[in-house]
Amino acid sequence: MSSPEDGSPLRPQSVLVELRRRSAELNLPRIGVHDLRHTAATIMISSRVPLAVVSKTLRHSTLSTTVNLSGHLLPHAARDAVTALEKAYKKAGLAVRRRR
């Protein structure tokens, strides 16, 4: 899909028609715009793009909307938080004990 020759933005309906046409050609299930949004969110979150940036990119009105819709994609967030705390404790000379 390419932009119009005059440089104007793509029309959403044109994108949807083209998406459905190509999906049918490839014998893929019907793909909707929200499927694409979810894919974009998944790629950004998996690439560790800050959640606030993901939220703004998706034009969600609140960060909680992004968390509610895509929070299940954040398993790395808890690990990253623990690693950051562990580094801070070590830098401060504090002992870090791990559970077994």
**48-61 residue pLDDT tens:** 899 999 999 999 99
What ranges make up the beta strands (E) of 1-100? none
Q: Tell me the pLDDT tens digit for each residue of 69-90.
A: 887 777 777 777 788 888 888 8
The residue ranges of every structural domain in the chain are 9-69, 70-99
At 53, phi and psi to the nearest 5?
-70, -40
Percent of the chain at pLDDT exceeding 70: 93
Amino acid 67 reads V
Which has the minimum average pLDDT: 5-14, 16-25, 47-56, 60-69? Answer: 5-14
- Range 34-53 average pLDDT: 89
d(C-alpha 45, C-alpha 20), whole Å:
26
Percent of the chain at pLDDT exceeding 90: 23
d(C-alpha 30, C-alpha 24), whole Å:
7
Residue 1: its pLDDT value, please? 61
Residue 57: its pLDDT value, please? 95
